[in-house]
Amino acid sequence: MNLTHEYNVSLFDDSAINLIGDTNICLMTVSPTSQYARTHVKAIDWSYVVGSHINLDSIYEGPQISFFEVVIRYLGGLISAYDLSGDDLMLQRAEDLADWLLPAFGTSSGFPVTHYQLGLNPNGKRAGRVVTADVGSLALEFTRLSQLTSKDFYYDNVQKIIDLFDGDQWVSPDRLGTLFPQTVDAEDPESLSEKYSMGGMMDSYYEYLIKQHQLLRGRRSQYSKMYTSAIESARAHLIRTYDIESPGGKNFTVIGSVEAGVFTPTLDHLSCFAGAMIGLGAKLLNRKTDLDLALKHTDSCVWAYESTQTGVGPEEAWLLGGNEYTRWKIVNYKGKAFRELHRSQDRGPTVMDSRYIGRPETIESVYYMWRITGDRQWQDRGWRMFTSWMESCVTEFGFASLKDVNRWPPVLSDHQQSFVLAETFKYYYLLFSEPDLISLDEYVLNTEAHPFRLESPGKPAKRYWSKPDESVNKAYEPPGINEGERGYGTFIQQWDRVDLDKISENDLQVYNKVKGIDTEDSYIT
């Protein structure tokens, strides 16, 4: 997995980074896997990407990381691993990583440098135009770290960002209520004319408003007010309900998009997370009409799965001519529901992106609907989603993507996204687990499904990971490493520092094996 922007080198070695970004092994108490993961966490050198590339005159040259991805996946994963295990090493490594990241906040606005070169200080330079979700979805991780370490400066940096979003400088005739477009520029707050939606590039900004309210136990009213205002704006500008002709009649609720003043009734898989968010907000803030909205939107997202030949939902579908409210007709064919255009109409539903890449958003909302309502229909529908996914995508070595959800037999793409294991499987696992496993009364899940424990004074924390087995750790560690230090480098990181001109031929063969080089075709000399 590559953590850096596409035109730069990887921050960490690719071999075991999922051990940090995936907390499933903590929940499932998988041993010795959890011990192997712990050894990797202990060893990894966060400064590995820095090397000799530092250029003190620029914050945009040299290897860069995606600040947002590192925070939600890896900082969040380490914090969650601590909350689930009580293992001090996880918290120590989270602090180590956070301290490398903190200088990125040193811009003129406080928005972090979103593609950041570790080791540099922006020194008050502009952050420029940034993706809304990239800067607006950092509060949970740094706030929870502040709670655990009693160090306010982690929280202060992200609170400054929220205060900026909550300011009155965002004035534009193009703005839709209190919503934000895909990108924003703190130095040009009146430029708000881009696409609006609750899909990619904006989704987790709204998600973190209600979840930060939950993490803080409502002690700061700002978050609930911002969230409530955003939902009301979404109702006014983005949310539409359409009639679908079927034997029993059906309403189809979408959270669409607006660009240049034009509404498009899009069903974007990424926006299907919103059922979970709106349902959680309904429960926490006692907004009963929002729960009805959450149920309807989740039902529509699940229906998109149930309506394809594979039983798996597409990346994106939309209804052309969105001002007309009758669009789809359900027919029964070979035991499955399919879409059929009205023959009398020349426009209708179109699958714009027919791929499925293992995304978690729909099952995330199904899981929340089950936990919030206790209605077992959500488990039943989730099980059908899971079995359809397995029938279509499971392979000998993993879980492939689908090229077209409406083709049978399935046409596979040889690719498995990292979120398949870190998120999608986690939500399926929790859907069929007892409700007290990661209870939503005791935990808040970040946007990568990492559970953070809610502070409950006097109540002992439940632990899901056994104490470290040092014999396993030592058996896993390569010979010669310094076991007394954190961050001495993983096995592959250490090999990557080797001077190839000064090692023996036997060691060179080991190097090739570690780096995944086919020595029959390519041999380093």
The 3 state secondary structure assigned to 327-380 is EEEEEEECCEEEEEECCCCCCCEEEEECCECCCCHHHHHHHHHHHHHCCCHHHH
d(CA 505, CA 59): 40
Whether 203 is catalytic:
yes
Inter-axis angle of helices 139-149 and 203-215, nearest 10: 30
d(CA 501, CA 479): 22
d(CA 176, CA 132): 15
Spatial contact of 3 and 65, defined as CB atoms under 8 Å apart:
yes
Whether 243 is catalytic:
no
- The angle formed by the CA atoms of residues 140, 142 and 145, to the nearest 5 degrees, is 105
What b/e readout covers 267-282, taking b as 16+ CB neighbours within 10 angstroms? bbbbbbbbbbbbbbbb
Q: Choosing from 194, 290, 361, 448, which is the catalytic residue? A: 361
Q: Choosing from 203, 268, 290, 423, which is the catalytic residue? A: 203
Whether 69 is catalytic:
yes
Is 112 exposed, middle or buried (CB count within 10 Å of its CB: 0-12, 13-18, 19+)?
Answer: buried
Neighbouring CB atoms inside 10 A of 288's CB total: 8
Q: Choosing from 207, 315, 404, 423, which is the catalytic residue? A: 315
The answer to whether 447 is a known ligand-binding residue is yes
Distances (CA, A) of 462 to 27, 243, 268: 11, 46, 36
d(CA 8, CA 18): 19
Inter-axis angle of helices 88-101 and 139-149, nearest 10: 120
Please report, as a single letter, which amino acid is at residue 510: V
Phi-psi region of 511 (alpha: psi -120 to 50; beta: other; left: phi over 0): alpha
Identify the CA nearest to 144 among candidates 66, 209, 79. Answer: 79
Whether 396 is catalytic:
no
Q: Choosing from 69, 87, 290, 477, which is the catalytic residue? A: 69
Binding residues for Ca(2+), as ranges, are 447
Binding residues, as ranges, are 447
Active site residues per annotation:
69, 203, 315, 361
